[in-house]
Amino acid sequence: MSIRYDDARHLLTLETLNSSYQMKIDRYGYLQHVYYGHRISGQDMSYICKEYDRGFSGNPYAARNDRGFSLDTEGQEFSTFGTGDYRIHGLRVRNADGSCLSSLFYEKHEIVKGKYSLPGLPAMYGAADDAETLVVTLSDRATGLKARLYYGVFESLDVITRAAEFVNEGAESVCLLKAASVCLDIPYGRWDLLHFHGRHCMERQPERAPLPHGIQVVSSERGMSSHQHNPFIIVCERGADESHGDCYGLMLMYSGSFKAEAEMDQFGSSRLVMGISDTGFSWTLGRGESFFTPEAVLCFGEGLGRISHICHEAIRRHICRSRYRLEHRPVLINNWEATYFNLDEETILGLAGEAAALGIEMFVLDDGWFRGRNDDHAGLGDWYTNHEKLPHGLGALIKRIKALGLMFGLWVEPEMVNEESDLFREHPDWVLRAPAREPAAGRSQFVLDLSREDVQEHLYQAMARLLKENDIGYIKWDMNRCICDLYSAACESGRQGEVGHRYVLGVYRLLERLTGDFPEVLFEGCAGGGGRFDAGMLYYVPQIWCSDDTDALERVEIQYGTSFGYPASSMGAHVSASPNHQTGRHMPLSTRGVVAMAGTLGYELDLRKLSDEDKEEIKRQIRQYREDEPLVHDGLYYRLTDMETLPSHAAWQYVSRDKSTSLVSVVVARTRANEPLINLRLKGLDPGAIYEIRETGEKISGAALMYGGYTLWQMHGDFPSVQLHVRTID
């Protein structure tokens, strides 16, 4: 069993293959966090939690004569505001009497086989032999508010999930002002905080800094998980690297505004709190009503690489549900950077014909195909064919593309509407906007109010009609602006603080229906590129467009940062034109291919302008990708270079689960005269096996490749790259 209760010591222990998580019901009835770290196999770790009088740290009334006991210094399994714990908290309420206090005491717990689920929210899934669930019920004796803390333990995966349900069993309403998903106390140690910041066209850039005394916040208030910050953080031991040092990973399965807080307190203890952003948030619970928080995925491991492996495995096998999660993804061509809005039937069919001749498997028709759409000022919301551009209709175009042997995909942006559209003219109240205020526009568009069920139903019918009437195998679901003006005309004034979260629930409900009713369709998420790249979206879609920046050198950095939490199979990656449309940089087609093949391969350029030599290179890339795709998407991923070496060169590696095959990719960002050679220490191989490098014919032991490394010959030219295929020999 992965969950055990020691009744004599009031001790709850959760154990995975390599980690232990422990909590204890203390003598006053609080649920105390004791330990999370390396597996300790049954040891009561509460001995490390020494109590003594620490001055201005006050005591609960029941412990008024017990000066060593203080909520301000004890580890808390779920901290609350206003009752003596002055550190960051997981729960803040407003009670019927106007107070904002809550005290949670242990009431009971239950251990069940299998993994809990969360109504209306994404969550990791697992059968009875995959996972076990602990539910601990805490209660506020003054108000009747109950907190049910959910723990899902995936023993073999080294994952523990956290979520909370708040239930009002009191006589009067209570308003949640902050309801976090996880609170984690780490009593000792000095730690670094690694988070992933960015901007549009440069998402998920790793930034690591020592956690100082005080509070550090990583958050998004944009209504989406955002380009600027990602709902995934790592707290690691100072000096930790890819292979060494204690590391904690926290990933929130949520696609809206979030907050991750880290605090080192006056005594050197650290606390992590993560969940829905409390900025502007409120949720009223009437008698008998409940509220579920999003799920947080926790993992502990030795080294940053181990954290990545755990997260990748969790996403591939216990978060993604699409039929494509472990299957081949069709190599596609997207027409956006070839045509932008200037598309017509002749152009599209010409591109499709070129694509079919090169071995590309799917044609994706991007923005501009629908009624009134000639630029970004009009048309969003009216999901009908633009007959001025496609006079024979969308269905006829699809048939002609299918006749070429290609699958067909389509770009949509259902959550948005232009003021210049029939939908807006008919339903101006369907837009998020406050009364008597002009709403902010982004990319000339407004945000539809998906907190409303009638808006959800309209969008479901519009998308379902497209999929029923046309042979569409792929949908690119875009969202090209952040959310503000959070006000719903369908929500009463006292509950407007619920609109932001209800919007996210509406997106999830819509995606749940569409992916359930059309399971054969490959859905790809997108939000101006990587603005909503999170585990919550990956529950509904198996891949997300990694960034609108298609420059291969920029993509090396973006995909590097993304790899800390998310697998290669989740990263939409395209070969684009040279010079690149975002940066103007010239780069060899071969290197653009190496970078794009590190994700889900696609092309986004005008194929009609390519030389015969370039066309042969694309054919070669596609053949190579089909061979390597199982290894890239389901092998273990290793970063062979770090942020310090990235300005010079980047190298990454995939290793099959049986260690028999490996792929090493290298891109040189800066070449210099008479420069030192690049030596790469490979990872994850069998030290006793002999490997052959296909490109050179060299035969080298796994131990030598890992401990002595492999030295590359000098690489010259503009951004040269190389791939090495390594395989064991008998």
List, by residue number, the catalytic residues.
478, 548
Pull the structure tokens for residue 378. 């009009």
Nearest to 15 by CA among 27, 6, 7: 6
- The amino acid that residue 448 corresponds to is L
Helix, strand, coil percentages in the chain from 3-state DSSP, rounded to 5: 20, 30, 45
Q: Is omega for the bond preceding 579 within 30 degrees of 0, making it cis?
A: yes
Distances in Å between the alpha carbon of 86 and those of 73, 215, 267, 271, 686?
9, 12, 13, 12, 50
Nearest to 532 by CA among 542, 548, 514, 544: 544
Give the integer Cα–Cα distance in Å for 477 and 175: 34
Rounded CA Rg of the chain: 27
The length of the chain is 730
Pull the structure tokens for residue 712. 């590359």
Is residue 411 a contact partner of residue 365, using CB atoms and an 8 Å limit? yes
Give the integer Cα–Cα distance in Å for 463 and 468: 9
Pull the structure tokens for residue 701. 């032991």
Give the integer Cα–Cα distance in Å for 369 and 337: 15
Q: Where are the beta strands (DSSP E) in 427-488?
A: 446-447, 474-477
Nearest to 498 by CA among 56, 133, 153, 175: 175
Pull the structure tokens for residue 637. 């991923």
Q: Where are the beta strands (DSSP E) in 553-687?
A: 571-576, 600-604, 636-639, 649-655, 661-668, 679-680
Q: Where are the beta strands (DSSP E) in 116-245?
A: 132-139, 145-154, 159-168, 174-186, 191-199, 202-210, 214-220, 232-237
Give the integer Cα–Cα distance in Å for 709 and 466: 53
Q: Longest Cα pair distance anywhere in the chain, in angstroms?
A: 86
Pull the structure tokens for residue 723. 């791939």
